[in-house]
Chain A
Amino acid sequence: SQQGEEDPQALSIQEGENATMNCSYKTSINNLQWYRQNSGRGLVHLILIRSNEREKHSGRLRVTLDTSKKSSSLLITASRAADTASYFCATWIKAAGNKLTFGGGTRVLVKP
């Protein structure tokens, strides 16, 4: 089973609206990251939040982490057509060494 599960699987919004997606995981983690994947391309690292952090911002991105609920959310504010992509959460556990565990992803379509 996957460590990270994303919700919703797909999201369609108008340009200028906010997009919110969620990630749940099963075991305690050291950090959680979000990646973006444009169609036909590799993954690009967006933002990392550590287990002792509750919220982090980077430009139009806001990530929250609730370790008691084992969940995280990614908010993209004032979305643009260029934000159309799939977004994946990935968890890292120090004991697992170099391994990341990815969720199934959320496909976001931003309509102009």
Chain B
Amino acid sequence: DVKVTQSSRYLVKRTGEKVFLECVQDMDHENMFWYRQDPGLGLRLIYFSYDVKMKEKGDIPEGYSVSREKKERFSLILESASTNQTSMYLCASSLPNRGMYQPQHFGDGTRLSIL
């Protein structure tokens, strides 16, 4: 079974702090994704990466950056945390969609509160 592990289940940080959310997958997947989930809005894509050191902006990248130095690890960085970034953050991974869709496998999420 694919295992996607997010380093923290709950995190509390202060406004202005630099925050790192870590995600590791064990299935040698090329694709990795970061979403945020807010009530009634579903999941919105922040960034994704289709290879080491490669990244693409999703629908809501403002205020975030990412790092993928190794294939199995994808980090989400809040450069200067703000209260409107309080949310549930979900990481996912998948094989590449080379003309044929590959399902995404999700971690259990990090619930981040910015005070």
Contacts and interface: CB of A to CB of B under 8 A. Distances in A.
A42 B108 contact: yes
A42 B90 contact: yes
B47 to A, nearest CB: 11
Interface stretch (A13-21, A67-75, A94-102): A94-102
A43 B35 CA distance: 11
Contacts of A90: 43
Contacts of A45: 103-105
Interface residues of B, number: 28
Interface string B84-115: 00000010101011010101111111000000
Contacts of B33: 98
A25 interface: no
Given A42-B92, A98-B33, A98-B96, 7 more contacts: A2-B41, A33-B103, A41-B109, A48-B101, A100-B104, A102-B42, A105-B42
Interface of A: 2, 4, 9, 30-31, 33, 40-45, 48, 88, 90, 92, 94, 97-100, 102-105
